[in-house]
Amino acid sequence: MLDRRAEATLVAYTREVSSALGEGLVSLVLYGSAVGEDWVAGRSDLNTAIVVRQVTLEVLETLAPIVARWRRRGLAVPLIVDRDWLERARDVFPMELDDIHRRHRVLAGADPFAGLVADPAALRRECEHEARGKLLRLRALFLDAGGRPKALEPLMLGSLKSFLVLLRHLLRLTGHEPVHGYAGVLAQGEAVVGPLPVMRRLLAHRAGGERLRPAVLRAEFGRYLGEVERIVAALDHA
């Protein structure tokens, strides 16, 4: 849940974006971990989507200095789209749009995400593509780090959220209706792919719990790879 500082930031940001775009603004939406229990103060970004009547150079130039200022206060670079893009992108970015559709909060204007429905076939294709690509990247980053134990914990933590998002979509594709929080997704996902103890430990550490012991990081990374590979294999057969 957002703290008072984050809420005040959103109020001021919304006021500035609304004033700058005027009638050209269709909607300003908050999405991602900030709309649920996974947001961590000082670590998580505030992700927003700005929907305008038409994305023009003038609109981008108007928003550029605003985005630059608010980036320094914890807001991620916003997704900037128009209604036509949303309609035409459902078969290309079904994962991203489905996530926003299922968990968002309108800060200003209408709600163009409420009626968006992802195509199951397109969703499965993107999930498998993303899962296999992220697995390849995880292996490459291990090689780039030279297998150094100090690099392995941040490498696992940095990729954990992406694989939990994929696990959430796997649950949807296999007929389950997952909860949004990462802990709930992990618990539900274990019923489908089996135990995920390393991901559990990483999630606890991400929330401020005990760090992984340096002496076992290599072994933990190996087990983490195995857990990721089971998620990828399950998506392949979803």
Backbone angles phi, psi at 25, to 5 degrees: -85, 125
Assign 215 a pLDDT band (cuts: 50, 70, 90): confident
Query: Do residue 72 and residue 171 come from a single domain?
Result: no
pLDDT of residue 128: 95
Query: Do residue 156 and residue 221 come from a single domain?
Result: yes
Residue 191 in any domain: the answer is yes
Query: Do residue 129 and residue 201 come from a single domain?
Result: yes
Lowest mean pLDDT of 39-48, 76-85, 107-116, 151-160, name the range: 39-48
Query: Do residue 135 and residue 27 come from a single domain?
Result: no
Query: Do residue 128 and residue 221 come from a single domain?
Result: yes
Q: Is pLDDT of 211 > 80?
A: no
The last residue of one of the domains, among 63, 80, 109, is 109
User: Exposed, middle or buried by CB within 10 Å (0-12, 13-18, 19+), for 167?
Assistant: buried
Residue 115 in any domain: the answer is no
Instruction: Work out how many domains the chain is built from and give that number.
Output: 2
Query: Do residue 125 and residue 152 come from a single domain?
Result: yes
Q: Is pLDDT of 184 > 90?
A: yes
Query: Do residue 91 and residue 172 come from a single domain?
Result: no
Query: Do residue 132 and residue 74 come from a single domain?
Result: no
pLDDT of residue 179: 79
Assign 46 a pLDDT band (cuts: 50, 70, 90): very high
Dihedral sign from CA coordinates of 89, 179, 165, 121: negative
Give the residue numbers spanning the domain of 129. Answer: 120-236
Q: Is pLDDT of 42 > 80?
A: no
pTM to 2 decimals? 0.84
